[in-house]
Amino acid sequence: MKNIFNNIKGLLIDLDGVLSISNKVIPKAAETIQLIADKKITFRIATNYTTLSRDSLYLKLRSLGIRVDKDHIISAAYAGVLKLRSLGNPSCELFIKEDTKADFQEFVIDHIAPEYIIIGDLHNEWSFDIINNIFNKVLNGSKIIALHKGRYFQTERGLQIDTGAFIKAIEYATSTTSEVIGKPEKTFFELVLKEMNIKANESIMIGDDIVNDIQGAQLSGCKGVLVKTGKYRKEIVNKSSIKPDLIISSFSEIKNFL
């Protein structure tokens, strides 16, 4: 069997479901990250997190025994930072969790007429006043950058409506579209690859989500390796038209290919 890791210069590695589940590290994930670092393979933790800042994600990983540098982490929230920098540091208003705001300290925050409105996870903090506030600012010319556009997510109490539904409502009311940054959007992969200074065909995304990780990577020119941990479900993969370049039992199995 052809080793798809041959001639690969960089790895994009998902967090939830690949390295950890519910704040518990997946067996041998920490050792595998250390092996990748020892072999001097460029890598980034590429995650759709928008509820934690880069500093907090770094502390989370270190608490799990996963030894990475802060520069190794690119979340959907931090991808928003990279996007704003590429736009020339425009003014913005943040509709994200308080902890995540730490990533955006370098930008001018404008609560009156921001050039861009950054929207991430607010969960039960969403309200009519917030939606109407954003609605009016978009009518007046502000543009939306959505850190992701999830429809719903799983909680201990069942399914809960997600950020994408509220963004869709604002888009409908204002006859506009937002720019989405997180996975599976091509923008996310382009931002990460640029920061890593490697080409798409020189990289592999390792994830547990057949759409966000595998399809997103493949449509961006990267290879996609699916792990059978986290949200992986065999029946979903079998029914999907998306075909991973490789399926492995868990993240630690890649040591056999490096």
Q: 0.85 cut: is pTM over it?
A: yes
pLDDT tens track for 184-210: 999 999 999 999 999 999 999 999 999
Mean pLDDT of 170-177: 98
Q: Is the pLDDT of residue 157 over 80?
A: no
Render pLDDT for 201-251 as a digit per residue (tens, 0 to 9): 999 999 999 999 999 999 999 999 999 998 888 998 999 999 999 999 999
**148 Rama sector, left if φ>0, alpha if ψ -120 to 50, beta otherwise:** beta
Q: What is the structure's pLDDT at 123?
A: 86
**Choice between 180 and 153, residue whose per-residue pLDDT is larger:** 180
Q: Are 161 and 152 in contact (CB under 8 A)?
A: yes
106-140 tens-digit pLDDT: 999 999 999 999 999 998 899 999 999 999 999 99
Q: Quick one: pLDDT at residue 154?
A: 58
Q: Tokens for 129? A: 């006043």
Residue 91: its pLDDT value, please? 98
Please report the sign of the dihedral spanned by the C-alpha atoms of residue 226, residue 70, residue 61, residue 86: negative
Comparing C-alpha atoms, which of 177, 102, 201 is closest to residue 94? 102
